[in-house]
Chain A
Amino acid sequence: DIQMTQSPSSLSASVRDRVTITCRASQNINNYLSWYQQKPGKAPKLLIYAASSLQSGVPSRFSGSGSGTDFTLTISSLQPEDFATYYCQQSYSTPRRTFGGGTKVEIK
Chain B
Amino acid sequence: EVQLVESGGGLIQPGGSLRLSCAASGFTVSSNYMSWVRQAPGKGLEWVSVIYNSGATYYADSAKGRFTISRDNSKNTLYLQMNSLRAEDTAVYYCARDHYDDYGLPNWFDPWGQGTLVTVSS
Contact = CB atoms under 8 A, between A and B. Distances in A.
B27 interface: no
A46 B44 contact: no
Contact of A96 (B45, B60, B107, B111): B60
A34 B99 CA distance: 11
A87 B47 CA distance: 13
Contacts, number: 59
Interface residues on B, range: 20 to 34
The dominant DSSP class at the B interface is: strand
Interface string A89-108: 10100111111111000000
A104 to B, nearest CB: 11
A91 B114 CA distance: 22
B46 interface: yes
17 contacts: A34-B107, A34-B109, A36-B45, A36-B109, A42-B114, A43-B94, A43-B111, A44-B45, A44-B94, A49-B108, A55-B110, A91-B105, A91-B107, A94-B106, A95-B58, A96-B47, A100-B44
Given A99-B45, A102-B44, 4 more contacts: A46-B108, A46-B110, A49-B110, A96-B60
